[in-house]
Structure formats: structure tokens, C-alpha cells
């Protein structure tokens, strides 16, 4: 065994001592954090110990040095990809998560159609939010975790690939992510930052755009917390030599009119083909596309980037790229043309109706996300299987006028009992008013790194 390895093992602190230190408000050393990342990767830390340290960090926080050390340690727990052979810029986007947030499915092919390469490594559902990878798994045959060769070939030939973490890409984060999901430790700025950036740094990007959600359907309900997270993400990314910017976007209502897995994929296909586009979803998707094109130096300004993204969308190039990506990764060749032939459908579809006339004044968006999980569209434990067919469609936005007995949303469920519970949850989540409320902004703020 090399001497360097013997030295690390000789000074490794017991997991319980690292937990105790952070529990009591201490600052963890780089060596402590490296030990933790190694314990995550190699299984020498138990699930209980990982959960305990996650809670200690959640309660006591991490300073900038600790956060950066955790990010880099998780990045270095596996391989780092190299895209230097591609004939163009490599860029990506990450969302902190929300309800009805299927932006990635449209964004990757839009940006690829404009000339960038987008190796989008996505996650599964976290807490009450849906996961991009779970959505893609709704497509029969789609290989969401391909080997390195297939991943590289798809990015090179198509321009984009939406996949999950492979076993050797930030493996420490992969395990930590699953534990945080089920232990109430998601909403921590240093943990969110380390999780996001360890994967993106391992992906070998040349630029990154972050979509940081704020509102009652996000992990950062308060605007000030979302801004702190965005600033932390941009700062830590810059310190790791990854140019990054962030958009703060609103999540006080579902972004798409669908929430679930297969239903959000269908919504995305409709968006790409022009069969139907939710307005807020379009605003956010195109704003992020413009930001990515500027970051990749394909567009000189956001205005130019927006024009190029619109052209790729309206001209059909983005839909074509999505179809090619699905086919390249094992999905049906005619998926974009015939999504209903392939996507799983729920056995029961029933309306959740309004109890009175009026306007949608407020939506408890997190409750809708929890409702989808309770239908079977998410996980309560890391090992839980997902029913990709269940969810909500036709979710009315804030400001919509509705009559008593008209649908607020359609519930897609496995059983009658599930459907009844979900209908009650939707009705409780929608708050009606007599007067039409002012529409909230979709794009709240842009945050850039230091020049």
C-alpha cells in the first residue's frame, strides 16, 4: 500500500467524532470532510452516521471553506469527464427543484440546436420536487444511466444527453443525495451547493447556469434564502474555476400545468412541438436558454440568445434534437411523433373541482408536490419504486377564473382511494378569491459572479 494511503488511514477520525464536532458547532477540517466523502463512497459510514452528520450540518451550517471542501471532495470521489475533443462549447443548467419543473427536457435540445453541447447529468426526485431522471425513465427503453461510451457518443452526435449519475461520477454525492431526501435535511445551502456543484464539476463543463427557485413550492421559500443560495453557488463555482450565473425564478405555483413523471414528459413534447406551451414555463425555459448561449459565447447578448432559442424552438430543430436523443439512448424512434403510444397511463383520471366561483388566488405548491408523491410518483424511502403514470395535469395557474364544479386539475391515480385523497389534497392546495390577483413574476433576478 502506498505511504500516502497509510497516512490517510492512520489519521482518520472516527465518524462519531466528526459528527460530534459538527453537532457542537465546530468547523470541520478538510481532512475530516475528506474522511466523510471517502466513507460515503466506500460504505465505511453507516446510513445512520451519514444522516446524523447531514442533520448536524443542517442545524449548524458550514462556512465557505467547509462548503468548498465538501464540494471538491465529492467531485474527487470519482472520475471527472473531459470534453476537450468536442468542436464547440460545453455548458449545462441546474435547477434547485420545484413542482412541474420539466425545463431540462426542453432546454437541453434547444441549446444543442443552437450549437452548444449539453451533457446534462440530472438527479432523481428530492423531497417534494420531481426529478428529471425519473421523468426520462417514463420513456420505454430510454437508458438514463448509459455507459461512458454511449453517453459520449450521444453528446457528440446529438449535442445533448440527459442522464443520471454513473457509478463512478461523484459517487459520494449520489449516496448523500439519497439519504438527505428521506431525512429532512434537503434545505441546507452548503449541502445543496456541494451536491449540485460536485456533479457539475465532475461533468467537465466550461460554463454553468443555475435556476434557483423561490416560493412555496421550492426548497427556499423566502426570496432572501434563494438569493443567498444563488450567490453561494455562483461563488463556489467560480472558486472551482467554473464560470456560472444564476437566475432566481418564482415557484409559488407549478411551473408547468402538469406535475408527475410521464405527464411532464408529455407536457414537454407538446412544448417542443408547439402543441401547447404554458406561458410561465416558456418564459423561464427561454430565459435560461439565452443565459446558457451567452455563457457558452454562442450569443453576445441575452437578447440575441433569446432570439436564437426562439428560432430553434419554433423551427422544430429543438424537437428534432429531443427525438434524436431519445432514439440514441434506446428509446422509441418515433417518440416525439407518438408519445401517447409509449408513455404509461394511469388507470383512473378524475377532476379535482372547485368548490366555488372565483379566481385562483394562491396555490400551496409544495402540497401539490407532496400529493404526487403520495400518489406513488415519488419516494418516501430511497429504495421505493415509482409509478411513472400518476400525477396531475391541467393545473390552473394563479389568476385563472373558475366556476364551481370546474376542474382545478386532473388527478391521474392507480386506485379510487388514491384518487380521492389526491382530489382532496388539490382542493385544499387551491385558495380561491373574489378578485383576480396580480400575476407573480417568473424571472425574479439575475446573479453573476465576480468579473
Q: What pLDDT does residue 436 have?
A: 96
- The SS3 call for residue 245 is strand
Q: Which residue intervals of the chain bear CATH 1.20.970.10?
A: 3-61
pLDDT at 9 over 50: no
Strand 207-214, strand 91-95: pairing: parallel
Cell numbers for 434, please give them: 373574489
Sheet of 358-363: strands edge to edge? 401-402, 358-363, 430-433
Which of 194, 280, 209, 277 is closest to 247 using CA atoms? 209
pLDDT at 348 over 80: yes
Reported confidence tier of residue 44, pLDDT bands at 50, 70, 90:
very high
pTM attached to this predicted model: 0.87
Please identify which of the residues 92, 134, 181, 387 carries the catalytic annotation. 92
- Please report which residue ranges of 240-357 form alpha helices under DSSP H: 262-273, 279-295, 302-314, 317-328, 339-342
Q: What pLDDT does residue 65 have?
A: 87
For 404-442, the pLDDT digits (tens) are 999 999 999 999 999 999 999 999 999 999 999 998 899
Whether 324 is catalytic = no
Please identify which of the residues 22, 75, 93, 213 carries the catalytic annotation. 93
Whether 365 is catalytic = no
- Return the percentage of the chain with pLDDT > 70, whole number: 94
Q: What pLDDT does residue 383 have?
A: 67
- Return the percentage of the chain with pLDDT > 90, whole number: 79
Question: What is the pLDDT of the chain when averaged over all its residues?
Answer: 92
Weakest-pLDDT range from 8-22, 45-59, 133-147, 337-351: 8-22
Fold for 345-433, please state it.
Aldehyde Oxidoreductase; domain 3 (3.90.1170)
Q: Which residue intervals of the chain bear CATH 3.40.1030.10?
A: 91-340
Question: What residue has cell string 437578447?
Answer: 303
Contact 158, 318 (CB under 8 A): no
Give whichever of 78-82, 121-125, 304-308 has the largest mean pLDDT.
304-308
Cell numbers for 85, please give them: 475533443
pLDDT at 27 over 50: yes
- Stretch 324-328: mean pLDDT: 98
Please identify which of the residues 200, 213, 277, 366 carries the catalytic annotation. 200
pLDDT at 13 over 90: no
Please identify which of the residues 21, 41, 91, 94 carries the catalytic annotation. 94
Whether 92 is catalytic = yes
Reported confidence tier of residue 4, pLDDT bands at 50, 70, 90:
very low
Exposure string (b/e) for 131-162, b if CB count within 10 Å is 16 or more? bbbbbbbbbeebbbbbeeebbbebbeebbbbb
For 263-281, the pLDDT digits (tens) are 999 999 999 999 999 999 9
Please identify which of the residues 71, 193, 195, 393 carries the catalytic annotation. 195
Please identify which of the residues 124, 128, 135, 180 carries the catalytic annotation. 180
Give dist(CA 332, CA 382) in Å, integer: 28
Cell numbers for 14, please give them: 472516527
Whether 95 is catalytic = yes
The CATH code that applies to domain 3-61 is: 1.20.970.10
Q: What pLDDT does residue 423 have?
A: 98
Whether 195 is catalytic = yes
Q: What pLDDT does residue 126 have?
A: 58
pLDDT at 164 over 50: yes
Contact 308, 296 (CB under 8 A): no
Please identify which of the residues 71, 77, 91, 95 carries the catalytic annotation. 95
Give dist(CA 236, CA 202) in Å, integer: 14
- Stretch 122-147: mean pLDDT: 84
Q: Which residue intervals of the chain bear CATH 3.90.1170.30?
A: 345-433
Please identify which of the residues 22, 128, 199, 213 carries the catalytic annotation. 199
Q: Supply the DSSP symbol for 28.
A: P
What are the residues facing 348 on neighbouring strands? Answer: 413
Cell numbers for 256, please give them: 408547468
Which of 231, 152, 233, 221 is closest to 193 using CA atoms? 233
Q: What pLDDT does residue 385 have?
A: 83
pLDDT at 11 over 70: no
Contact 104, 322 (CB under 8 A): no
pLDDT at 6 over 50: no
Q: What pLDDT does residue 381 have?
A: 66
Whether 93 is catalytic = yes
Give dist(CA 289, CA 243) in Å, integer: 16
Count of Cβ atoms closer than 10 Å to residue 350 Cβ: 16
Contact 45, 15 (CB under 8 A): yes
47 exposure class (CB count in 10 Å sphere: 0-12, 13-18, 19+): middle
Please identify which of the residues 129, 132, 138, 193 carries the catalytic annotation. 132
Look at the alpha carbons of 250, 256, 262, 267 in this order and tell me if their dihedral is positive or negative.
negative
Whether 381 is catalytic = no
CATH 3.30.230.20 corresponds to the domain 91-340? no
Amino acid at each position: 500500500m502506498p505511504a500516502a494511503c497509510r497516512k490517510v488511514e492512520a489519521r482518520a477520525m472516527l465518524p462519531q467524532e466528526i459528527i460530534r464536532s459538527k453537532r457542537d458547532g465546530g468547523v470541520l477540517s478538510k481532512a475530516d470532510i475528506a474522511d466523510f466523502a471517502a466513507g460515503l463512497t466506500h460504505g465505511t459510514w453507516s446510513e445512520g452516521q451519514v444522516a446524523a452528520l447531514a442533520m448536524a450540518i443542517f442545524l449548524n451550517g458550514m462556512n465557505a471553506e467547509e462548503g468548498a471542501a465538501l464540494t471538491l471532495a465529492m467531485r474527487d470521489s470519482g472520475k471527472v469527464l473531459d470534453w476537450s475533443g468536442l468542436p464547440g462549447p460545453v455548458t449545462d443548467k441546474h435547477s434547485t427543484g420545484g413542482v412541474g419543473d420539466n425545463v431540462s427536457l426542453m432546454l437541453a435540445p434547444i441549446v444543442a440546436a443552437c450549437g452548444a453541447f449539453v451533457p446534462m447529468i440530472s438527479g432523481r426526485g428530492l423531497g417534494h420536487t420531481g426529478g428529471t431522471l425519473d421523468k426520462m425513465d417514463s420513456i420505454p427503453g430510454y437508458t438514463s444511466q448509459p455507459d461512458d461510451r454511449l453517453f459520449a457518443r450521444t453528446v457528440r452526435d446529438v449535442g445533448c444527453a440527459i442522464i443520471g449519475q454513473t457509478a463512478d461520477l461523484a459517487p459520494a454525492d449520489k449516496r448523500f443525495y439519497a439519504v438527505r431526501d428521506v431525512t429532512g435535511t434537503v434545505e441546507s445551502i452548503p449541502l445543496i451547493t456541494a451536491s449540485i456543484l460536485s456533479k457539475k464539476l465532475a461533468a467537465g463543463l466550461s460554463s454553468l447556469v443555475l435556476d434557483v427557485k423561490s416560493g412555496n413550492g421550492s426548497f427556499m421559500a423566502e426570496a432572501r434564502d434563494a438569493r443567498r443560495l444563488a450567490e453561494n453557488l455562483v461563488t463556489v463555482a467560480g472558486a472551482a474555476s467554473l464560470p456560472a450565473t444564476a437566475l432566481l425564478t418564482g415557484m409559488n405555483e407549478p411551473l408547468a400545468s402538469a406535475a408527475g413523471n410521464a405527464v411532464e414528459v408529455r407536457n414537454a413534447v407538446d412544448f417542443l412541438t408547439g402543441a401547447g406551451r404554458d406561458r410561465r414555463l416558456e418564459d423561464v425555459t427561454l430565459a435560461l436558454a439565452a443565459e446558457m448561449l451567452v455563457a457558452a459565447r454562442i450569443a453576445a447578448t441575452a437578447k440575441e440568445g433569446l432570439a436564437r432559442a426562439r428560432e430553434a424552438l419554433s423551427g422544430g430543430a429543438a424537437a428534432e434534437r429531443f427525438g434524436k436523443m431519445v432514439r440514441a439512448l434506446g428509446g422509441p424512434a418515433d417518440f416525439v411523433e407518438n408519445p401517447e403510444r409509449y408513455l404509461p397511463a394511469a388507470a383512473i383520471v378524475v377532476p379535482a373541482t372547485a368548490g366555488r366561483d372565483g379566481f385562483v388566488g394562491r396555490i400551496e405548491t409544495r402540497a401539490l408536490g407532496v400529493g404526487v408523491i403520495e400518489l406513488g410518483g415519488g419516494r418516501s424511502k430511497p429504495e421505493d419504486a415509482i409509478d411513472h403514470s400518476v400525477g396531475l395535469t391541467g393545473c390552473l395557474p394563479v389568476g385563472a377564473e373558475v366556476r364551481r364544479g370546474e376542474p382545478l386539475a386532473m388527478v391521474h391515480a392507480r386506485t379510487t382511494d388514491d384518487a380521492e385523497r389526491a382530489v382532496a389534497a388539490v382542493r385544499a392546495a387551491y385558495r380561491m378569491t373574489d378578485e383576480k390577483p396580480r400575476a407573480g413574476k417568473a424571472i425574479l433576478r439575475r446573479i453573476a459572479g465576480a468579473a
